Chains A and B, each alone.
Chain A
């Protein structure tokens, strides 16, 4: 709980910083603050507690996911210093909103009450609507913000309606009361309709097919740093909440949605990978890659009967770390080349061998090739899915991950085999630090996964 309170205070501090004229030291201050919050969060490990009439419950699940989210937020903030260097005027607003995104995520990991879930999702989403449209004079960014807002609020309506129906059926917002209702064998149409509506809203938030249409457009239009945030922290927050909700409340009626979830999982994996093949814009490519990774995570989610929280946590850590590294490199390339398509990477292997090698390795991790963490994550998820009898789905996932290799390699091929122009791609130290960190983590977690693999 302290984690959440301090993070909110940090957000408020950012807004006040504008008045106190502390813009110059704002980013270092936030990074140090978040590092301190990470320690506070770490302190809660194995010290579970509940707060506010059981509205919020801190347990190892929430602590682990919160820790991951804080680390990702720190990486994003380190990148933000350079990214917003020409936006002196608004920097404190932007940074404050980004901190509030983290607040939303922290609530989504630790809720024990439907109302808290809704609050968390809304705090996260509304902050994101603003950030998606934060390039005010760019048409694409405006489109992204508006589209995200319209579709996201529609999904929120579904969520709210679902929660209301479930309240009608069970008479409570509390997760354990609802879980008792389910395990007592009650079946009311009201409850099932409500569960399906919540399911839809959550599938929208994680951008699973067929609720994925917003994601490529929003990813493409948003500023690159916000896209990085959306494809890592936000996606993990959505999955953390999704898994927590279903594992605690609805696991008893999982068989009821099994068919729906299986179809969604299969189509998310297949379509995400297939459509990614034809992308020219790098951010869209990453959007579809994110969709396909959401599919693999869904495969872990639908196997939740054997307690796959570890698999999901491990997979999403590996995915997020590699993705942040990819974004750090691509932001450098985009800024230098003034181009956000894959051909911006042409000839990078000659111009800047370090960046090219780093991006290749991160791409290999995303494609799931050993010895990088992406491989073990995939292996873990597949293994759990087979244990739960989802053999057909696993075969589909295995086949499509071969397709995945093709589009990740498109970028590697562009860097090493195509001739680019001579524009230099400068690296500054903050970006270098983030890239090296992500690279080392991808490799270290692939070789010594013990630290995170059985955490929860």
Chain B
């Protein structure tokens, strides 16, 4: 029951918001998102008491070909659902005090997106998972298309077709899994226990890996990313970078490692090398960026590269680090893009060169922005540190040289983030920043909550480890061929 409530509440909320008027839409959406967050935390307490069993839902959906409506919430899924439902109210709140045309459709689509995302994280049947995965693409496409920047049409179409191409390969992979499976089912437990010969796993790996690599994105499948982030409206960018990317990394752990372990053993080294190349490449490009949103996009690319590298390191440190970093990155990147939005809202510019001295006129904004920047350059005691440390440790265990290059992400990250911060916040005010108004109430709440989470997670990350450790150990046991 509880799982159905968590899953379908955003859908109902989305329909109600569609039906509501434009004036009421944002407040209603916020209310629903907060209720959903409450439900999620209630589910967390249930989970602490009675474990994952109470969230198990299994219903026959289609008899032939056998597809079942199978939901579950283990530690990993629950953490991702919590991340989604925690970020959603912040994302909605960040749109307050902004003029949004046709607000009911905008917030309705955001809540529909939440429905699809929660579905992706909860689905335990291959095809059900695939349906939610595809469904998540539709609202974000329309959000970017309808409310995006001037160059949105070709950019969003590229994004859509690129990711859809990956998804269709995955669909093909799933159908093949179905036929290789003697039980003929998409059920995750049966997929985990399959016995596909390594020759077939070798190419099945690519069917899934490409889909995830496009979504994450891993270099060289990242070309849709920076432009889409730049053109999408702020809330769309937040959804994309904060949560939707995590669909890819989550799926690597859930749907790739344990299902085609022989494929992972064969191609894992190549994948991890791609990830590390991506980290260095993205960091170097980020240093060159003049546009704030694009800079954040490339920094995000570097961070998720490290997350994926930690996953392919195939040890428990790497996996734990990747999960913690997924949450940390999700929170931080939403904060970063919101800061970019605040700056753009005041100055109508995102060019790093034209800005400066904002600290002098907006001290509160300065403090909170600083905390988020520190979190994303992985300063100890912030959330970024725990994740990156574990990830680097995991990659180090796998291969020393790779970890050296992956470690560059911390140094280079500090270079571009702090330089950016110095340029736009310190120094003398320019023409456009001299009248920079300090934070409004909703901005204070969003950035304040994010800043608190950055510290809380950095100082006391133990609940997250406790939550995911059993699941990750289970998946790791399946993923390593003895």
Chain A contact residues, CB within 8 Å of chain B: 349, 364, 369-371, 375-376, 379-380, 382-383, 386-387, 394-395, 398-399, 401-402, 405-406, 409, 413, 416-417, 449-450, 453-454
* B61-69, B75-83, B221-229: which lies at the interface: B61-69
Closest beta carbon of chain A to B407's beta carbon, Å: 38
Assembled-state Cα–Cα distance A450/B131 (Å):
16
Residues B134 and A383 in contact, CB atoms below 8 Å apart: no
Interface of B, helix, strand, loop or mixed by DSSP: helix
Q: Which chain B positions have C-beta within 8 A of A405? A: 160-161, 164
In the complex, whether B426 has a CB less than 8 A from a CB of chain A is no
Q: Which chain A positions have C-beta within 8 A of B165? A: 399, 402
A-B CB contacts (within 8 Å), total count: 70
Checking A401, A413, A454 against B168 with a beta-carbon cut-off of 8 angstroms, the contacting residue is A401
Residues B64 and A453 in contact, CB atoms below 8 Å apart: yes
Closest beta carbon of chain B to A348's beta carbon, Å: 13
Residues A383 and B161 in contact, CB atoms below 8 Å apart: no
Q: Which chain A positions have C-beta within 8 A of B153? A: 413, 417
Q: Which chain A positions have C-beta within 8 A of B127? A: 379
Checking A371, A394, A402, A450 against B164 with a beta-carbon cut-off of 8 angstroms, the contacting residue is A402
Which B residue sits closest to A409, measured CB to CB? B157
Checking B130, B142, B161, B172 against A394 with a beta-carbon cut-off of 8 angstroms, the contacting residue is B172
- Identify 8 new A-B residue pairs, CB closer than 8 A, beyond the known A383-B65, A386-B176, A402-B161: A370-B135, A371-B131, A375-B134, A382-B175, A398-B172, A401-B168, A405-B164, A416-B142
Assembled-state Cα–Cα distance A371/B112 (Å):
13
Q: Which chain A positions have C-beta within 8 A of B65? A: 379-380, 383
Contacts A/B (CB < 8 Å), 17 sampled: A349-B146, A369-B134, A369-B164, A370-B134, A370-B135, A379-B127, A379-B175, A383-B65, A383-B179, A395-B172, A406-B157, A406-B161, A416-B146, A417-B145, A417-B153, A453-B63, A454-B64
Which B residue sits closest to A412, measured CB to CB? B145
In the complex, whether B453 has a CB less than 8 A from a CB of chain A is no
Q: Which chain A positions have C-beta within 8 A of B168? A: 398-399, 401-402
Q: In chain B between 119 and 164, which residues have their CB closer than 8 angstroms to a CB of chain A?
A: 127, 130-131, 134-135, 137-138, 142, 145-146, 152-153, 157, 160-161, 164
Assembled-state Cα–Cα distance A312/B287 (Å):
55
Q: Give the interface residue-count category, chain B.
A: 20 to 34
Assembled-state Cα–Cα distance A366/B338 (Å):
37
Known: A370-B134, A398-B168. A450 touches B63 (CB 8 A): yes
Q: Which chain B positions have C-beta within 8 A of A371? A: 131, 135
Closest beta carbon of chain B to A358's beta carbon, Å: 14
Residues A364 and B161 in contact, CB atoms below 8 Å apart: no
Closest 5 CB pairs of A and B: A370-B131, A370-B134, A402-B165, A398-B168, A417-B153
Checking B137, B171, B179 against A387 with a beta-carbon cut-off of 8 angstroms, the contacting residue is B179
Q: Which chain A positions have C-beta within 8 A of B135? A: 370-371
Closest beta carbon of chain B to A346's beta carbon, Å: 13
Q: Which chain B positions have C-beta within 8 A of A454? A: 63-64
Residues B157 and A386 in contact, CB atoms below 8 Å apart: no
Q: Which chain A positions have C-beta within 8 A of B138? A: 364, 369
Q: Which of A370, A371, A399, A416 has the most CB of B within 10 A?
A: A370
Closest beta carbon of chain A to B135's beta carbon, Å: 6
Known: A398-B169, A409-B160. A386 touches B175 (CB 8 A): yes
Checking B61, B137, B178 against A383 with a beta-carbon cut-off of 8 angstroms, the contacting residue is B178
Residues B145 and A416 in contact, CB atoms below 8 Å apart: yes
Checking A376, A380, A399, A413 against B157 with a beta-carbon cut-off of 8 angstroms, the contacting residue is A413
Residues A382 and B172 in contact, CB atoms below 8 Å apart: yes
Which A residue sits closest to B157, measured CB to CB? A409
